[in-house]
Structure 1
Amino acid sequence: MFDQAKTQFSTVRDLLRFAVSRFNEANLFFGHGTQNAYDEAAYLILHSLHLPLDTLEPFLDARLTRDELEGVLHILERRVNERLPSAYLTHEAWLGDFRFYVDERVIVPRSFIAELLREQLSPWVEDPELVTSALDLCTGSGCLAILMAHAFPNAEIDAADLSPDALEVAKRNVADYALEDQIHLVQSDLFSALEGQTYDVIISNPPYVNAPSVQALPAEYLHEPELALGSGEDGLDATRIILREAPKHMNPDGILVVEIGYNRDVLEAAFPELPFTWLETSAGDGFVFLLKREQIT
């Protein structure tokens, strides 16, 4: 079918209709930046043609060169046949207005903490300029560390991850934003290589998928590093270590912000003594918690 398209199609409109049909026919999963076949198709087509990602209508009836047509169809065919997340096909992911390089060494950025950093963690951080030290634990592509650097311009930021491959991707993103002097990449299994370091703000989007959910993940997720997804039978192995070790690394009045997916009920049952504050995000208030240092110790 893709071979036929090379000889029968000529416009962006042709490609868009074809892509939506093929994506729906293949029952692709969407959740790495888009939520439906139309948006995913539009993104891949516009990106492949080096067109503005937010401007489709003026180009719908533009006729493509043969090379352009074959290039777009190639990336659409890979999306269907390999079930690769689009971010791995285009090597880019977006959090708001921030673009990041990604490949299969890191999970595709999609943290709710990004939304909170746009507001500089207000009201929990009263004066962003007074934050002088911060940590992004399980940094992956480095995206949240970069957002922290913009939210807290006076902060020295450590960005830690167990995976040396992930840190190579983070290094590229940090360089793209010219933040090498502010963000320091550290290979560390959670806090293990951060002995003696303390911070005003610690954020973490650790692995949190429980074992049954890992087994049921759509094919698209299976291209992501397994190390960055699963965290034990109930999804809380990494979070337990963070809660145990974080107080030693928090300055007085320091805060800890952690994303835990759909594990709120399990977490609250496991730590009934902790007064979690659940932060409001676009998906609700059950995905990211905040604790102050004095609430954990």
Structure 2
Amino acid sequence: MRHDNLDTFLKTADTTLAKGPVALIFVEDDVEIGSTVRHHLDCGFKTLLVLMPEAFGLPDDVADKVERINFDVVRGDDCFDAVNRVSAAAPGLWLYYCYNAEYLFYPFCETRTVGELLTFHTEERRDAMLCYVVDLYAGNLEAHPNAVSLEDAHLDKSGYYALARNDPDNHNYPKERQLDFFGGLRWRYEEHIPAKRRKIDRIALFKSKPELTLRDDHTFSDEEYNTYACPWHHNLTAAIVSFRTAKALKSNPGSTFDIETFKWHNSTRFEWHSRQLLDLGLMEPGQWF
């Protein structure tokens, strides 16, 4: 169904958002819209909200399977505001958000649905899941000048690290079970990335509740939502493989001419399988087998 804007859609929230998990896909340009929607439909989300400019088109095979909402990003925090508004309208549901040309992977996603994943996570008394945004890029930029190619996708197999997340409200002591994660293109080309945008961690899967607020650094007002594990053992984590940074670096006049290729000695072809991400340590199964 097509909706004129988010306000119009939220008037139907009682029925449209009756069951979760719900995915929000924000469309920033016309790159890989169809593949992004198909991938998340295959994950098993009960409802997909595709927030996109009116001028862009949706492929016919997915147009009738999603809730299309006319949406233009005017300010940098418009997407975060939209997530918060949907969250407020659907308390108690698991929500997920991403952008076009981003693809959610979680342990054993080839045989298990996202609903099964979140059922297990809920049983572990967790209301949010840490996701790592893993940069993808085309291996041949001459053939793919926008840096996007599903068939020629590559990622960095090493170069990821974490730093303590200091708490300015507590004498800058490290926050408990919270870390800032870095790596990928945002690390290798950090001179072109604002410092605030260099982290690759995103709490992209979370259970909505009253007064919960998503902040513009992809963390939440409830600090427990921002933790990578519970106090008693390791928890599941997921990965969002994303062409978003590569697209931005190649479309920005300030960086595009400095980059002839994204490939380096630690590049490897992406296999589009959760096993590769598990083997590289880019997500963890926790206690889920």
Indicate whether the TM-score tops 0.5: no
Higher share in strand: 2
Q: Taking CA–CA contacts closer than 8 Å with sequence separation of 6 or more, which of the two structures ends up with the larger relative contact order?
A: 2
Higher share in helix: 1
Normalising by structure 2, we get a TM-score of 0.30
Query: Rg: which structure is higher?
Result: 1
Normalising by structure 1, we get a TM-score of 0.29
